[in-house]
Amino acid sequence: MDARDVIISPRITEKSMANALGTQYTFVVHPDATKTQIRHAIEEIFSVSVVAVNTVNVRGKKRNFARRGTRTSGKQSDFKKAIVTLKPGEKIELGGVNYFEQ
């Protein structure tokens, strides 16, 4: 798998932004990616040193919708999340703007 196939997108949430002030960054990754593949992809794409990688398989939530008198149910997609810890003093900048420090 190519490095760009492993890392899908950064996960921009309130909790991930608070962790990013330290040295932890959160990414949505390919469901079949291993911790080693994630480590190599982050190091290749962002040119940083990765200390640790933690992964979580997040299950999609079930939702109920009421539309025009009919009730339907649906489900959000499942995804895999990786929490990457960098060496102290290193940062990740995305597209020239550091989304993790706002």
Query: Is the pLDDT at 5 greater than 70, yes or no?
Result: yes
Three-class SS of residue 35?
A: helix
Q: How far is residue 32's CA from residue 72's CA, in Å, rounded to a whole number?
A: 31
* Contact indicator for 80, 55 with CB cutoff of 8 Å: yes
Q: How far is residue 22's CA from residue 6's CA, in Å, rounded to a whole number?
A: 24
**Residue % of the chain over a pLDDT of 90:** 62
Q: How far is residue 85's CA from residue 78's CA, in Å, rounded to a whole number?
A: 23
50-90 per-position pLDDT tens digit = 999 999 999 999 999 888 889 999 999 999 999 999 999 99
Residue environment code for 25-46, b if the CB has 16+ CB neighbours within 10 A, otherwise e: bbbebbeebeeebbbebbeeeb
Binned at pLDDT 50, 70 and 90, residue 94 comes out as: low
Domain ranges of the chain: 3-86
What is the layout of strands, in order, in the sheet containing 7-10? 7-10, 24-29, 79-86, 50-58
> pTM of the entire structure?
0.83
- How many Cα neighbours within 13 Å face the side chain of 65? 8
Among 10-19, 65-74, 92-101, whose mean pLDDT is lowest? 92-101
Match domain 3-86 to its CATH number in 1.10.10.10, 3.20.20.140, 3.30.70.330, 1.10.3720.10.
Answer: 3.30.70.330
